[in-house]
Structure 1
Amino acid sequence: MHIEPGRRPIDPDRVAAAATGLGDRAVIDEWAERFAVVADPSRLALLVSIHYAPGISVTDLAAVTGMTDTAVSQALRLLRAHGLVTAQRDGRIVRYRLADETVHELIHRVRPHASDPPPEPVDR
């Protein structure tokens, strides 16, 4: 456990638990970058659309989101680069699916199906 020099914790057990939960800072940085990618409303709309219609094409994503095909393609390149979606060629059409289970779960929290149970309350 790392504590800045000159700092004396109020509750060392809680500091130890927080440090254990924090883990490797590189993982935190990686997730912060992924969240930054998802934080864009257009990219989030694409992820939600792909979630509810796996195998959807660029043209259909553009139709549902109101974006141009070019804008959708550029956003999907970024989402693919961050491992959030995968692409599969079907003849001349490229179809997209979510590639990340955590994003799948996040979308259920952000935009649940009407048949999904409500999310569990967060202990604050």
Structure 2
Amino acid sequence: MHLVPAERAGHRTIDDHRVCDAVAGIGEPEHVRAWADRFSLLADPGRLALLLALRTAGPIAVTDLAVATGMTDTAVSQALRLLRAAGVVSGDRQGRIVRYRIVDDMTAQLLRHCAAPQGHVVADA
């Protein structure tokens, strides 16, 4: 049980090697937290709808996203502010218009799976 943290090393186990495999599979706490944060961004139906629309439509303005998702401009702006702060999307200004796009590759890959028809397996690219 060489991978088990010292504070848990004395705990009774059934299959020591499986415990070590499980600890290795979990990885570093910071990595787990980063993935949990990414999934929490996708857990909101409004944000997920925005991201799916961005994935499909490419760079698109707030007003157009509002129409596409059925959200208000204000709700779209608030969601995009959060997604921008998390480094998931970026806005490109062209005059008075800002068009948003997905810039986080890992989120884009997750969205490919979200957008796949139910029961359809997406091949890794």
User: Per the shorter chain, which TM-score range?
Assistant: 0.7 to 0.9
- 1:84 is aligned to 88
RMSD of aligned alpha carbons: 1.8
Query: How far did residue 9 of structure 1 move?
Result: 2.1
Contact residue 59 and residue 100 of structure 2 kept, 8 A? yes
In 2, the alpha carbon distance for the partners of 1:33 and 1:103 equals 11
| Cα distance in 2, alignment partners of residues 111 and 46 from structure 1 | 12
Cα distance in 1 for partners of 2:113, 2:86 equals 21
Return structure 1 stretches of 4+ with deviation > 4 angstroms.
none
Conserved? CA contact 2:47–2:79, under 8 Å: yes
What is the CA-CA distance between 1:30 and the residue it aligns to? 2.1
Letter in 2 for 1:26: E
List runs of 5+ in structure 1 lacking aligned partners: none
TM-score by length of 2: 0.84
Correspondences of 1:75-114 after superposition (within 5 Å): 75-112=79-116
Tell me how far apart the structure 1 counterparts of residues 71 and 10 of structure 2 sit (CA, whole Å): 53
Deviations 1:52-106 (A, max 9, x none): 0110110100010111111100100001111111111122111111111222121
For residue 100 of structure 2, give the secondary structure of its aligned residue in structure 1. strand
Instruction: Tell me which moved more, 59-68 or 15-24.
Output: 15-24
CA distance in 1, matches of 2:94, 2:25: 43
Residue of structure 1 equivalent to 2:54: 50
State the distance in 2 between where 1:5 and 1:18 align.
Answer: 14
Q: Once the two structures are aligned, what percentage of the paired residues are identical?
A: 49
Match runs of 1:13-32 below 5 Å: 13-32=17-36
Distance of 1:11 and 1:48 partners within structure 2: 42
SS of match in other structure, 1:87 = strand
Matched residue type, 2:25: G
If the length of structure 1 is used for normalisation, what is the TM-score? 0.85
The yes-or-no answer on 1:2 pairing with 2:4 is: yes
The number of residues matched between the two structures is 117
